[in-house]
């Protein structure tokens, strides 16, 4: 019997240490982050980063030979749940998106030269990166329709196309660009990835797209989502990351563990919103009682607790499946938690915001910011509908139509079959009557 829901004591100690560090050293910075700017924030985080390094928790998502811990997805997931409580905590631990996923890609598929030039400085915090795949005029949810092309010209590749929502591209030093290298190949082998320096001739970062998160977008701010024109961008053969035609396979390797980390970080956010909801219920008095005494509020609290617990167990189970059986075995579970986790995050934040009334809607509390963050979670890394579709397809593959067109559970049919099978017994029972 090996079901075991415990964290081993040594790792629990690490988690407790992380939780305290994040709460004591990082949460206080959140309130003055906009005043500090990115440079000031990084200065404030430098001593915290040092402590994280000393504790052996820096860039923990990477393999041990690159300074990571080889922790496995369950431990990483538990770590991300803590880091998710603050939007700036991942910066202190060397695993902020999109640099974390890009460093995984470089670690997995990069040549020694690519690792020296891009990965090591990325890990040291000397470079920033972006992942440039989604396009304004083709559906990101169906990347087989990508239109950006990379064509061979002698030893070089020439990239032509337009991308948008390349997060952090306007402050990045290099971009990992997904482009079609062979439009005739099977859909899964059409595209490849390229490492493109942001200052390469022909790379034009047009704007940071204003969003629900940043309606008055300022170009070049941390966390912006850039629109980029690639106008005959020439890169050498060594810019190809991994093999030609391996773009989608590499993207899958990046996305499957990345979604587990997202879901655990969302639980960190949801927990903070939940704590705010419970606190508010204990002191706000309306219509003759505390909010905590209203049944609707009790339902919100109980439902939120149940949903967060379900999402947490489902996500850790997906992580465990990945650790024990590999990424492809965990694929359907990861699709399941991607849309379920995003909904739990959204609903918990929404209830907490509602319970705070106008205060919840105001920027005096972080709930409105959490709400905007939660809305995006239903779109990036694959919209809800696509993950639901892939889960349903997988489940339905295990079913087939009944040969005679009669539902398997059809009671009159089952009764007739049972009467035939148990005729002797039925006869005895009836004879005894």
Ligand X SMILES: Cc1cc2nc3c(=O)[nH]c(=O)nc-3n(C[C@H](O)[C@H](O)[C@H](O)COP(=O)(O)OP(=O)(O)OC[C@H]3O[C@@H](n4cnc5c(N)ncnc54)[C@H](O)[C@@H]3O)c2cc1C
d(C-alpha 322, C-alpha 308), whole Å: 21
Taking the least distance from each CB to ligand X, the nearer of 142 and 153 is: 142
Taking the least distance from each CB to ligand X, the nearer of 7 and 389 is: 389
Taking the least distance from each CB to ligand X, the nearer of 259 and 280 is: 259
Closest CA to 106 of 68, 156, 134, 73: 68
322 class by beta-carbon count within 10 Å (0-12 exposed, 13-18 middle, 19+ buried): buried
Please report how close the Cβ of residue 140 comes to ligand X at its closest, in angstroms: 2
Please report how close the Cβ of residue 217 comes to ligand X at its closest, in angstroms: 12
Taking the least distance from each CB to ligand X, the nearer of 94 and 247 is: 247
Please report how close the Cβ of residue 223 comes to ligand X at its closest, in angstroms: 9
Please report how close the Cβ of residue 160 comes to ligand X at its closest, in angstroms: 17
Please report how close the Cβ of residue 355 comes to ligand X at its closest, in angstroms: 26
Taking the least distance from each CB to ligand X, the nearer of 166 and 333 is: 166
CB-based contacts of 391: which residues, under 8 Å, 6+ apart? 332, 335, 336, 339
Taking the least distance from each CB to ligand X, the nearer of 94 and 140 is: 140
Taking the least distance from each CB to ligand X, the nearer of 94 and 382 is: 382
Closest CA to 367 of 387, 382, 346: 346
Please report how close the Cβ of residue 67 comes to ligand X at its closest, in angstroms: 24
Please report how close the Cβ of residue 336 comes to ligand X at its closest, in angstroms: 16
Please report how close the Cβ of residue 212 comes to ligand X at its closest, in angstroms: 9
Query: Are residues 144 and 187 in contact, defined by beta-carbon separation less than 8 angstroms?
Result: yes
Taking the least distance from each CB to ligand X, the nearer of 168 and 315 is: 168
Closest CA to 363 of 223, 215, 218: 215
Please report how close the Cβ of residue 387 comes to ligand X at its closest, in angstroms: 9
Please report how close the Cβ of residue 127 comes to ligand X at its closest, in angstroms: 16
Closest residue by beta carbon to ligand X: 140
Taking the least distance from each CB to ligand X, the nearer of 211 and 354 is: 211
Distances (CA, A) of 290 to 170, 275, 283, 298, 351: 48, 16, 6, 11, 16
Taking the least distance from each CB to ligand X, the nearer of 6 and 216 is: 216
Please report how close the Cβ of residue 380 comes to ligand X at its closest, in angstroms: 4
Taking the least distance from each CB to ligand X, the nearer of 140 and 291 is: 140
Binding site for ligand X (CB under 6 A): 98, 131-134, 139-141, 165-167, 225, 376, 379-380, 382-383, 385-386, 389
Cα dihedral value 377, 379, 380, 386, nearest 10: 120
Closest CA to 272 of 15, 22, 63: 22
């Amino acid at each position: 019997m090996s079901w075991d829901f415990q964290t081993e004591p040594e790792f629990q100690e690490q988690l407790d240490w992380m939780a305290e560090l994040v709460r004591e050293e990082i949460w206080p910075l959140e309130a003055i982050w906009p005043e500090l700017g990115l440079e000031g924030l990084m200065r404030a985080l430098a001593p915290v980063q040092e402590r994280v390094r000393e504790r052996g928790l820096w860039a923990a998502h990477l393999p041990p030979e690159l300074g990571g811990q080889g922790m496995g997805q369950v431990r990483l997931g538990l770590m991300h749940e803590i880091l998710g409580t603050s939007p700036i905590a991942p910066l202190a631990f060397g695993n902020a998106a999109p640099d974390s996923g890009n460093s995984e890609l470089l670690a997995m598929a990069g040549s020694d030269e690519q690792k020296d030039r891009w990965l090591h400085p990325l890990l040291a915090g000397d470079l920033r990166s972006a992942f440039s795949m989604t396009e304004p005029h083709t559906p990101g949810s169906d990347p087989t329709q990508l239109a950006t092309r990379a064509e061979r010209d002698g030893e070089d590749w020439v990239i032509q196309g337009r991308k948008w929502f390349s997060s952090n591209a306007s402050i990045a030093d290099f971009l990992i660009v997904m482009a079609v290298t062979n439009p005739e190949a099977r859909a899964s082998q059409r595209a490849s990835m390229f490492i493109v320096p942001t200052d390469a001739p022909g790379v034009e970062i047009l704007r940071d797209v204003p969003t629900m998160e940043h309606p008055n977008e300022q170009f070049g701010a941390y966390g912006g989502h850039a629109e980029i024109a690639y106008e005959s961008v020439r890169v050498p053969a060594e810019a190809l990351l991994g093999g030609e035609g391996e773009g989608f396979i590499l993207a899958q390797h990046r996305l499957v563990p990345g979604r587990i980390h997202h879901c655990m970080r969302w639980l960190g956010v949801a927990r903070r919103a939940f704590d705010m909801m419970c606190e508010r219920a204990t002191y706000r008095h309306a219509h003759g009682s505390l909010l905590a005494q209203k049944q609707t509020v009790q339902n919100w609290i109980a439902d939120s607790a149940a949903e967060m617990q379900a999402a947490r167990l489902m996500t850790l189970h997906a992580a465990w499946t990945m650790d024990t059986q590999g990424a492809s075995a965990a694929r359907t579970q990861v699709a399941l938690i991607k849309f379920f986790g995003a909904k739990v995050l959204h609903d918990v934040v929404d209830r907490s915001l509602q319970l705070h009334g106008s205060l919840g809607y105001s920027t005096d509390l972080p709930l409105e910011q959490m709400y905007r963050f939660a809305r995006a979670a239903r779109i990036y890394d694959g919209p809800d509908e696509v993950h639901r579709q892939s889960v349903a397809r997988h489940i339905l593959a295990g079913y087939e139509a009944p040969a005679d067109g009669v539902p398997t559970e059809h009671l009159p049919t089952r009764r007739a079959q049972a009467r035939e099978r148990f005729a002797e017994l039925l006869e005895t029972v009836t004879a005894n009557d």
